[in-house]
Structure 1
């Protein structure tokens, strides 16, 4: 409560200063000639805007500043078992955010089974770009079953989606759009935003080249798992796996999946997706790491015995060998509630 009180006092002070600026300006207006009064009011308004921008998130460097070091540290210490995805994400985001004049928006398509880290990585990217992270008003998340539930309304959804993106990028060119559950999206809907992802300087006076689009999907997960299984059966080290071993089969699998929102999409056909990012199935050791990390997030003392119990409690496949976790790390938090 004391912390809340201090914050309230600070906000009250800021509001007082804000009001004081305009009251002072009002007094001065009556004391000067019209031209001078206009200058005073302008100064007061400028100070008012400065105070407002200090208190409220705005589309400027105070609130949007890319931190490459933080992203790299987070990927190395918080994302487990995803060496391929980590390398792609870091290089892609670094290259895009340090380019003052990108030719097109950054478009990433993240694929893999549930619980492998796709949503988590989206949050890490947002944290590295926006001071408010996923709570930023410039980060927009669309969930297929929530925002686009009815196939009969697809034409309305296309129009709404175009308006939402245009309006938000007009408001801030450094906007981020995350589309979750792409595998549940109605085929053809995502094609409505193709112009915004293409190599255009401006469309109707709006530039989309500094925006970020991230697609999250379980589609292609089977292809990724098959590659991972092949490596395991051949006795090859998981860390030897590279993007070239996964990308071609992954993009084809996604493009030809009739149940996916990316089925025969022009975004793939026209090469507008910059990277297809594969998230590998997680093994027992990665689940243990997830459990230890979750304990740290709860400010609990790391307990390897508990982490081991949590990891062993999950379901793995193939059934005989029990190599990969069926749900990745998705149920770790609920398991910890039971064991701690």
Structure 2
């Protein structure tokens, strides 16, 4: 902030300071008003730099940043990284999308689903996950009682409508999607469909991200079978898991997505599989956590932390049962 901006802010404090204005002479007040008016005429958007708003100063997609983050921070998820980058880039570069972007992320706990949501937010919103335009819903926290499903539907629809009205580029993250009541999920359907407007509001620039453990078992079986054949993990492609994943999600009666209109009407743009993580990926997670804390790299410590996790199959200890979920607490134990 330059000296002129400092002076203007001081003027604002004096003018807005209530009783302070009483000790300022009329001549000084007139001079201050003139200076403030002149400054605002020169810098009409100055206030947008100090308070988050739905403008390019606060919402701007960084493809290079997202690509770099996915490559350097998301381990063992070559399929998910590729889909996320292409899907988000294509959507954000489209000035007139036909519908909101809907991503459904699937896989076992600790494989990176929540983390990817954070990376997406970090590269769209200046304040990342702390942005007032990023909204997170968790089934057990926000919709705990099945008996109140109708109330939840109304509240959720009002919440989405109000926030998109406030900012078209809003992001909605639904965690534990597999635990949500199907009726509640269906209440989201109008907002992610191919409507130009609903009651005067366009939802086409919004992003909906669903996080779910549903389909995780199917993904794991496919990855394990692939490993048993001796093939390289990076050879595993989306086509190898896509069909079994969609069937597992659609036909699983224990999943909130079971026979919902979102799937039935093909409103989910991408089902994104997150593969179970191997020992080497857990080591990478531990090293990344050290770097995030400003600690010197310690491969021995990373391997010690990774070795204490549970792996399967028991005879080969290939895949981590909890992925990287407990790395942070495990590292705390040794520091």
Q: Structure 1 pair 279/46, CA: closer, same or farther in 2 (3 Å)? A: farther
Mapping 1:214-293, distance limit 5 Å: 214-293=209-288
Aligned counterpart, 2:303: 308
Q: How many residues align?
A: 324
Residues 11 and 36, structure 2, Cα contact 8 Å, conserved in 1: no
CA contact (8 A) 2:8 2:39 kept: no
Report the alpha carbon displacement of residue 48 of structure 1 after superposing the two structures with TM. 9.7
Shift in alpha-carbon separation, 1:308–1:11, aligned structure 2, 3 A: farther
Question: Residue in 2 aligned with 1:175?
Answer: 170
Q: 1:46 to 1:263 in 2, by over 3 A?
A: farther
| TM-aligned CA deviation for residue 12 of structure 1 | 8.0
The CA distance in 1 between the partners of 2:99 and 2:257, in whole Å, is: 19
SS at match of 2:208: strand
1:160 equivalent in structure 2? 155
The Cα offsets for residues 40-80 of structure 1, whole Å up to 9 and x where unpaired, read as 99989878973432211000000000000000000000000
| 1:16 matched residue in structure 2 | 10
Alpha carbons of 1:11 and 1:280: their partners in 2 closer, same or farther (altered >3 Å)?
A: farther
Q: Distance in 1 between matches of 2:51 and 2:4?
A: 14
Per the TM alignment, residue 187 of structure 1 is displaced from its structure 2 partner at its CA by 2.1
1:47–1:190 Cα change, 3 Å: farther
Distance 2:122 2:62 in 1: 9
Q: 1:60 to 1:17 in 2, by over 3 A?
A: farther
Residue 123 (structure 2) aligns with: 128
**Residue 236 of structure 1: how far off its partner (Å):** 1.3
Separation of aligned partners in 2, 1:254 and 1:267 = 12
Report the counterpart of residue 333 of structure 1 in structure 2: 328
Point out where structure 2 has 5 or more consecutive residues left out of the alignment: none
Partner of 2:141: 146
SS at match of 1:271: coil
* Contact persistence 1:170–1:206 (CA under 8 A): yes
TM-score of the two chains, using structure 2 as the length reference: 0.90
Deviations 1:171-219 (A, max 9, x none): 0000000000111112221100101101111111000000000000011
Give TM-score, length-normalised by structure 1.
0.89
Q: How large is the RMSD of aligned CA atoms in angstroms?
A: 2.7
2 CA distance for matches of 1:10 and 1:80?
47
